[in-house]
Structure 1
Amino acid sequence: MGMAAGRGDCPDWDFSDSHGHLVRRSGIAPKKLPPTYDTALGTAPLFGWAIADMAKNWRIHISTVHPPLSGVSIRHAHDARWQTKNMSSTSTDDVLAPEQAEAFRLQVREFLEQNASGIGRRSETSLMIGKKYQAALTEAGLAGLVYPKEYGGAGLTRIHDRIYREEYGKYPDMTFELTISHGMCLPVLNQFGTEEHKREFMPDLIAARTMWCQMFSEPGAGSDVASLQTRAELDGDEWVLNGQKVWTTLAHVSDYGVLIARTNPDAPKHAGISMFIVDMKAPGMEIRPIHQIDGGSHFNEVFFTDVRIPKSWLLGELNNGWNQATAMLMYERVAIGTGSSSGVTHNLADRLIDVAKNNGKLSDPLIRQDLMKLYCEETVKSLVSMRTRAEMKAGKVPGPGGSLGKLHGAIIARFSRPLINRLVGADCDAWEGEGRGENWARYILSSFQSNIAGGTDEIQRNIIGDRVLGLPREPMMDKNMPFKDLKVGTQRQ
């Protein structure tokens, strides 16, 4: 990330907005920053609008201090009234009194002190940890904070959700394995499901009593998902499913799945798709785990042979599945962009700062520079995520901000890998044994998927170019052609 030049060998950053929020970071700022910098930071134009919002909503003051501080402190002004109406033009005016915000923060802290411990691997062991933690959240009334009580949620505001995320971010992530269930399937059910769907499925989903997966990609329909060939045909009061999906995360441990299938082959490929709820244990389902190089089996092939589901399990409108799938993909990118699919990503800069302090490398100016860059990158991603989540809370389908956050998460993963290697050293190669070595090794190895999972970087750039920058769309040779006349997917000669 580029920075403007100025004076000050070791500035102290104060981020203060009009509502009194204050964030202070000391001792890792890059050299030669100007005393006052209220314009957009010199990052890539791709994220200019996010940085412009940061400059607008968070006036940045930089004051030179001597000698440099060796630690990092972050302080939030909890005594100010919380408002978020400026974070998104579509958001609602959630307001929380200071005493309410502080009381909820203390409640969350107490809960986390009692329940947030240990780091699970990306395996069924970590899934068990995630389910146990989610059960405790449910018991404490803290699960599904922004979802209605009648559907198993807590019925609270996005400010409560933000406070929880801030506090939870101080602990190792224990709910990574629930990302698809809660970050993708849950909002889609809430948005497109019928009243019966919501009352039947959402309470168990929120409490993690059931696991859900997403079934989109096929052997011949990856980036071009609309070329899918899995069929759904109505037979009386049931839909009959036939076809194959691939790279389905956690299908082998899921109870239900959200599926898109072709319901009208006479329509253009984007127009003849519908979305369904599927029982993963139904007769005719075959799930084959794919063994990965790291020893895990997160991904699966899923085969449908005359699988029957109730007619009422159509999710949303018939033949409107592509629009709904697009919404789900945006939810996926929000889920990935606001956290990461790599494991150790909550406040990654803070964690690496602690590592640098403990091993005596924080005094290295190149290390400090890269840590500050990482902090700035995470700040941008967080602001994009705040905008997108505000849109979601206001009832809007996530827009291209989801792609911005997802792409920025991939950029962070690429940037952080060599930095982690320099800071952690040989522990990056540790696979088993005591300490945090195994955690960093798995982070680095799994971070390579960030450029592909949830949509490739190239797809994200296409979305951003089309929907953010307003560039001309790529030509579509098959536009308005019936799907049955196309040579797509595995039909290609």
Structure 2
Amino acid sequence: MDLTYSAADERFREEVRDWLETHLTGDFAGLRGLGGPGREHEAFEERLAWDRHLGAHGWTCLGWPAEHGGRDLDLLRQIVFHEEYARANAPARVNHLGEELLGPTLIALGTEEQKTRFLPAIAAVEELWCQGYSEPGAGSDLASVSTRARLEGDEWVVDGQKTWTSLAQYADWCFVVARTVPGSKRHAGLSYLLVPMRRKGVVIRPILQLTGTSDFNEVYFDGARTEASLVVGEPGDGWKVAMATLGFERGISTIGQQAAFARELEAITGLARRNGTIDDPLIQDRIAHARMGLDLLRLHALRTLAGRGPESQGPAQASVSKLVWATWHRSLGELAMQVAGAGSLLVEGAPYELDEFQRLFLYTRADTIYGGSNEIQRNILAERVLGLPREARP
């Protein structure tokens, strides 16, 4: 695939840039730079209004087919949008889980009724979603889930606990991996259910993070009910559907993620210039190394998205992508502390006010854990790609 921007692509870039400059004004002007990992609490309702404004003007679900409410844009146009969105320092989106994960999953594997019911509301940002995968005893090892669901008449009844559930406190719906075949183990007997969050039988408890904020939550299902038709794929075939969703998670949105990384690196470099640490050869080397690593992240993402190279096939794609960006970003947080120096050990104010670099350092400690830990990703590559002996399991 030719990844060179054409004249038409550049005209589209100007369209995106002009639209953002025109619309990130008035009530929306103060949202620039707000939200994102560790800061999802910032102006959430206002950012939700912004997301709905994007949807009303056709700037959500850019890669979805037009028949499902998208714009059917090719890869390069989607990349252009994410680049310009990041360049404008536009606020972090609140609809990622619906737009980038569940929506594509339903388009690929959902029934026509499910598509008709949910896709328009996702595109218009009228309903928000969260992801019910991880559990206290099944984090990176998703096949160990113990949340159960049984079919009673025309409803699924769900019992169990999910944890590290991003944005559950704001979500209207959750896509839940639950065990629906009694006595089944590991990958067999799982189903992928769509469960409403604002009903009896669902309890949400925020988790206090090192950053002092609560992006993640514990979610308890105690007899929670959802319609029998709201299973994606066949009952018992949930593992395949869950893996499809994870594949979409490593999709085009990674380009926007990397644009945000670039802003963080520029901020660290600016701090180094202001406090003089830029003159330290070791700091210079680490900043240069970070810049090269960011370039490699981008090239890897583009190659993977374009479907080129061995890493774009099979389980290697998601695992390699997660390994490289998570490890790089954790190192960036460490670099921020090194540049900030001893002052980084003191909070900005009482009782626990952090600056942007402290927040970056603390939050990135989790990057190599959530979404599949580095250890699990290496096991996947070793066992499924390199064919090495499987790790002993109880």
Q: TM-score, normalised by structure 2?
A: 0.85
Q: 2:222 aligns with which of 295, 305, 313?
A: 305
How many angstroms apart in 2 are the aligned matches of 1:391 and 1:462? 23
How many angstroms apart in 2 are the aligned matches of 1:332 and 1:249? 14
Q: CA RMSD in A?
A: 3.1
Provide Cα deviations, 1:446-481, integer angstroms capped at 9, x if missing partner. Answer: 11111211111101111222344343333556xxxx
Q: Could you tell me whether the CA contact under 8 Å between 2:193 and 2:230 is conserved in 1?
A: yes
How many angstroms apart in 2 are the aligned matches of 1:335 and 1:474? 32
Query: Aligned-pair distance for 1:319?
Result: 0.9
Q: Could you tell me whether the CA contact under 8 Å between 1:337 and 1:409 is conserved in 2?
A: no
How many angstroms apart in 2 are the aligned matches of 1:418 and 1:303? 35
Query: Aligned-pair distance for 1:212?
Result: 0.5
- 1:118 matched to which residue of 2? 32
Q: 2:172 aligns with which of 221, 239, 255?
A: 255
Bigger helix share? 2
How many angstroms apart in 1 are the aligned matches of 2:84 and 2:345? 27
Q: What residue identity is the alignment partner of 1:243?
A: G
How many angstroms apart in 2 are the aligned matches of 1:467 and 1:166? 34
Partner SS state of residue 214, structure 1 = strand
How many angstroms apart in 2 are the aligned matches of 1:283 and 1:317? 26
- 2:203 matched to which residue of 1? 286
Q: CA, structure 1 residues 266+419, in 2 after alignment: closer, same or farther (shift >3 Å)?
A: closer
Query: Aligned-pair distance for 1:304?
Result: 1.8
Whether 1:369 aligns to 2:285 is yes
How many angstroms apart in 1 are the aligned matches of 2:386 and 2:256? 25
Q: Could you tell me whether the CA contact under 8 Å between 2:177 and 2:238 is conserved in 1?
A: yes
Whether 1:108 aligns to 2:27 is no
- 2:133 matched to which residue of 1? 216
**Which aligned pairs between 1:353-392 and structure 2 lie closer than 5 A?**
353-391=269-307
Query: Aligned-pair distance for 1:136?
Result: 2.9
- 1:158 matched to which residue of 2? 75
- 1:183 matched to which residue of 2? 100
Q: Structure 1 vs Structure 2: percent identity of aligned residues?
A: 35
- 1:207 matched to which residue of 2? 124
Query: Aligned-pair distance for 1:250?
Result: 1.4
Q: CA, structure 1 residues 143+248, in 2 after alignment: closer, same or farther (shift >3 Å)?
A: same
Q: CA, structure 1 residues 140+472, in 2 after alignment: closer, same or farther (shift >3 Å)?
A: same
**Which aligned pairs between 1:470-489 and structure 2 lie closer than 5 A?**
470-475=387-392
Q: CA, structure 1 residues 101+408, in 2 after alignment: closer, same or farther (shift >3 Å)?
A: same
Q: Could you tell me whether the CA contact under 8 Å between 2:86 and 2:256 is conserved in 1?
A: no
- 1:83 matched to which residue of 2? 2
How many angstroms apart in 1 are the aligned matches of 2:169 and 2:67? 30
Q: What residue identity is the alignment partner of 1:402?
A: A
How many angstroms apart in 1 are the aligned matches of 2:380 and 2:194? 27
- 1:412 matched to which residue of 2? 328
How many angstroms apart in 1 are the aligned matches of 2:126 and 2:345? 35
Partner SS state of residue 213, structure 1 = strand
How many angstroms apart in 2 are the aligned matches of 1:387 and 1:472? 29
Whether 1:421 aligns to 2:329 is no
**Which aligned pairs between 1:272-283 and structure 2 lie closer than 5 A?**
272-283=189-200
Which is greater in Rg?
Answer: 1
Q: CA, structure 1 residues 422+390, in 2 after alignment: closer, same or farther (shift >3 Å)?
A: same
For structure 1, which runs of at least 5 residues remain unmatched after alignment?
1-81, 85-94, 478-493
Q: Could you tell me whether the CA contact under 8 Å between 1:146 and 1:154 is conserved in 2?
A: yes
Q: Could you tell me whether the CA contact under 8 Å between 1:213 and 1:254 is conserved in 2?
A: yes
Matched length? 379
How many angstroms apart in 2 are the aligned matches of 1:233 and 1:450? 34
How many angstroms apart in 1 are the aligned matches of 2:53 and 2:274? 33
Q: Could you tell me whether the CA contact under 8 Å between 1:239 and 1:310 is conserved in 2?
A: yes
Partner SS state of residue 319, structure 2 = helix
Q: CA, structure 1 residues 249+172, in 2 after alignment: closer, same or farther (shift >3 Å)?
A: same
Q: 1:319 aligns with which of 219, 230, 236?
A: 236
Q: What residue identity is the alignment partner of 1:379?
A: D
Query: Aligned-pair distance for 1:295?
Result: 2.6
Q: CA, structure 1 residues 383+401, in 2 after alignment: closer, same or farther (shift >3 Å)?
A: farther
- 1:235 matched to which residue of 2? 152
Query: Aligned-pair distance for 1:374?
Result: 0.5
Whether 1:133 aligns to 2:50 is yes
Partner SS state of residue 327, structure 1 = helix
Q: 1:460 aligns with which of 356, 370, 377?
A: 377
Q: Could you tell me whether the CA contact under 8 Å between 2:141 and 2:376 is conserved in 1?
A: no
